Amino acid sequence: MPGLAVVTGASSGIGEAFAERLAADRWDLVVVARSGERLSELAARLNQAHGVTVRAVPADLSRSEEVERVGGEIGAMPVDMLVNNAALAYYMPFADLPAAQAAELVDLNVLAPVLLTQAVLPGMLARSRGSIINIASLLAFSGAVQATFLPRRAVYAATKSFLVTFSQALAAEVRDRGIQVQVVCPGVVRSEFHSRQGMDMSAVPRMEPGQVVEASLADLADGVLVSVPGLGDTEPVARLEAVSLELVSVARTVELPARYRRDAQ
């Protein structure tokens, strides 16, 4: 049964599409974004179209005091779903990335989802139900990939890798307590995300935000943890998990392998 959902970055793109879909499914909403005017317009439109309660909470989640304020508000509510979608990129070579922008990337893309999740999780655990959806990116897996079509992304990609690991580890902690965690890793999506950085993506094939939401919610219903909307076969994700297990198992090794020992050469 629908309940109360919180969606960050809800004024455009994937966040707006989540808000629209959840409202159509009869969820009441708390929508969060920097633009108060656009949030108010969204809340009014969804209320009129679907008769649900939509509360607009303007906030800049890259600022710690704003995250604390929003966390306090939603932590006191019976939140059944949290969609951590707010993010930015600042694509550029790491050597050119100003320190303030690097900090903003980490604060918005990493710290805000962690703290907002901490805010709503106690209530979810007390009620033994709830869903947490973290919006990452396929760039989370791109660290070792060298390709001309990929942007300069050292910090941005690392923040999205964090969300994948955070979601996987958290899911293991709470799955037996009625809480479902999902991380969504879309490719290029039609939204304002790139145009805000002055990037012309008009010639690039892009998925629609609503398609990302449709895939995410279908995977959520099927219990899929790592949702990749553009992936027709889930085998690559399974292989990645198997390799991860193999690498982590090395932690039990107490002797250096022969390739490191001079006496073995």
Give the Cα separation of 23 and 18 in Å (integer): 8
For residue 91, indicate whether it is catalytic.
Answer: no
Rounded CA Rg of the chain: 20
Provide the angle, in degrees to the nearest 10, between the axes of the packed helices 209-221 and 13-24.
60
Neighbouring-strand partners of residue 182: 133
255, 260, 263, 265: CA torsion to nearest 10 = 140
Give the Cα separation of 159 and 131 in Å (integer): 21
Answer whether 43's CB lies under 8 Å from 56's CB. yes
Cα→Cα distances 245→242, 249, 250, Å:
5, 6, 9
The set of catalytic residues is: 156, 160
